Amino acid sequence: MVSVYYAKPAVHDAWLRSECPSLWRTKVNRAADPAGVLARVPPEYLTAAGRARRGSRWYVRWIDPNGRERRRRFRDRVDAQAFADGLLHGDISGKDYTGVPRTVAEACERWLDTKIAVRPATLARYRREVRCYIAPQWGGEPLDLVSPAAVQAWVVRLHEGGYPHADGCEGGPLKRKTIRSIVCVVLRGVMEYAVRQGWLDSNPTSGVELPRSDTKAVRPLTPEQLADLLSKMERRGTAAGDLTKLMAFTGARIGEVCAMQVGDVDTQRRTIRIQRTWSDGAKRLEPPKNGRTRTIAYPPAVEGRMASRTAGRDAGAWLVPAARGGPTLPSNFRQRVWRPVARELGIGWATPHTLRHTYATMAIQAGAVVKDVQTQLGHSSATITLDTYAAWWHTDLSTVAQAVERAALGGPASPARASITAG
């Protein structure tokens, strides 16, 4: 039940609240502290000048028109008092402070409404993570009561299991990648937005530690498995065979391959311009991942098929259309073609994305450098390529040492070395 004392806006001193409630609204220092209040304040809360401190000192508490107790913190007492006076007289300098979100759930909705520059699939993921993970844990919690310690404890539960989930049950352990998206992208973004809007003094997710990486080893197809897959897909039809070959021999994602158009192909240079991709969730065309177009190369193995699929056709036509002439949707290909074939061949664990891993590992084993693999795959940085396929790059430290020795002894410094030795 809300106390009558807080029915009107009142300015309080957060630094001395627990030490002396009667001095909440009093600026206290050692020279004007006859009751010895500061002598009882822990030393870590005192400045060198003897003043008490702990975050933004002043805050205003009031009851909003909905009967809810509200609070807003300020660094300076003057600003706090001006805000309280504005609330009391109905004049708050044109700002609608009564519209400030009271809970994390309300702040999440405000933040999601600002996400107009992200891909629809990304926005859908943000909303799903808010609904499934953030709202069950923090939805009804006041913004200013979310502490770094509580967020860190929640991260531990996300990693180990036992956190509240939208389905009403305790959720199981999540991967580090998923936790990072929930905590460091969505919740941190919400809290940072609240800080920029002046609803919070600091972001409680700053400094939160994530669990150690749990990256799984890449599992590509063997050359024998790839050969069997290509042969089986060819027997399923030219469309299935061509889509599979494009993924296997270019490393392109399934959404990118299904979105290719005739005008994207340069048969003279044996290249394809990746300009769009299918979003499975919305079944709509979007820019490629990372928002960047790129040009990839295809080998002579598919040169004939590319020539036949582009000859005499309109530039805007689908490169590998469905049976009725429309686009081949990735979801349909996975369910109706890929999965039955994969199970039949005994590789039910594999997905179309496995062909991307197969391409990358074969390229690395053939001697491709990391920058070329990154460009072909469309990774935003070489770090992602190295982290994903680090185990497939050959490591020979003795060869490196010998190369350095040859460069050092046979380079420009060798004459100097000879003269020093002779002297």
Last residue of a domain, one of 65, 99, 133: 99
CATH for 184: 1.10.150
Pair 147, 56 in one domain: no
Task: Give the separation between CA 105 and CA 142, rounded to whole angstroms.
Answer: 9
Residue 37 to residues 14, 30, 58, 77: CA-CA distances in angstroms?
14, 9, 17, 19
Pair 84, 187 in one domain: no
What is the helix (H) or strand (E) element at residue 86, kind and residue range?
helix 77-89
Task: Give the separation between CA 250 and CA 257, rounded to whole angstroms.
Answer: 9
- Which ranges in 339-411 belong to alpha helices (H)? 339-344, 352-365, 370-377, 382-389, 397-410
Pair 382, 276 in one domain: yes
Report yes or no on 233 lying in a domain.
yes
Pair 302, 169 in one domain: no
Task: Give the separation between CA 183 and CA 209, rounded to whole angstroms.
Answer: 10
Pair 24, 77 in one domain: yes
Report yes or no on 201 lying in a domain.
no
Residue pair 341/232 in contact (Cβ under 8 Å)? The answer is: yes
Last residue of a domain, one of 196, 212, 241: 196
Pair 384, 403 in one domain: no
Report yes or no on 397 lying in a domain.
yes
Residue with tokens 């940072």: 192
Report yes or no on 210 lying in a domain.
no
What is the residue-averaged pLDDT of the chain? 80
Question: CA 149, 154, 160, 164 torsion: positive or negative?
Answer: positive
As for how many domains the chain has, the answer is: 4
Task: Give the separation between CA 67 and CA 418, rounded to whole angstroms.
Answer: 89
Report yes or no on 243 lying in a domain.
yes
Name which of 185, 102, 189 is nearest 140 in CA terms.
102
Number of H helices, E strands in the chain: 18, 10
Residue 223 to residues 141, 227, 228, 244, 348: CA-CA distances in angstroms?
54, 6, 9, 14, 17
Q: What is the pLDDT along the chain (423 residues), one digit of tens a residue?
A: 333 233 467 777 666 554 444 443 344 444 445 445 555 555 555 555 555 554 566 778 777 666 667 777 776 777 777 777 777 665 444 344 445 666 899 899 999 999 988 888 888 899 999 999 999 999 888 887 888 999 999 999 999 888 988 877 888 889 888 999 999 999 999 999 988 887 888 899 998 999 886 556 788 999 999 999 999 999 999 999 999 999 999 999 999 999 999 999 999 999 999 999 987 665 788 888 877 899 999 999 999 999 999 999 999 999 999 988 899 999 999 999 999 999 999 999 999 999 999 999 999 988 888 999 999 999 988 888 888 888 887 766 677 677 787 777 765 443 433 333 333
Pair 68, 42 in one domain: yes
Pair 145, 281 in one domain: no
Residue 61 to residues 2, 7, 13: CA-CA distances in angstroms?
11, 9, 11
Pair 266, 358 in one domain: yes
Phi and psi for 272 in degrees, rounded to 5? Answer: -130, 135
Report yes or no on 204 lying in a domain.
no
Within 10 angstroms of residue 160's Cβ, the number of other Cβ atoms is 12
Task: Give the separation between CA 21 and CA 31, rounded to whole angstroms.
Answer: 19
CATH for 282: 1.10.443.10
Pair 66, 118 in one domain: no
Task: Give the separation between CA 341 and CA 231, rounded to whole angstroms.
Answer: 11
Pair 138, 115 in one domain: yes
Report yes or no on 20 lying in a domain.
yes
State how beta strands 265-266 and 170-171 pair: unpaired
Residue with tokens 């690395």: 364
What is the DSSP code string of 112-125? Answer: HHT--SS-HHHHHH
Report yes or no on 263 lying in a domain.
yes
Phi and psi for 69 in degrees, rounded to 5? Answer: -75, 130
pLDDT digits 0-9 by tens, 327-339: 999 999 999 999 9
Last residue of a domain, one of 70, 99, 128: 99
Pair 232, 319 in one domain: yes
Instruction: Give the domain extent around 54.
Output: 4-99
Vertex 244: Cα angle to 387 and 120 (nearest 5): 65
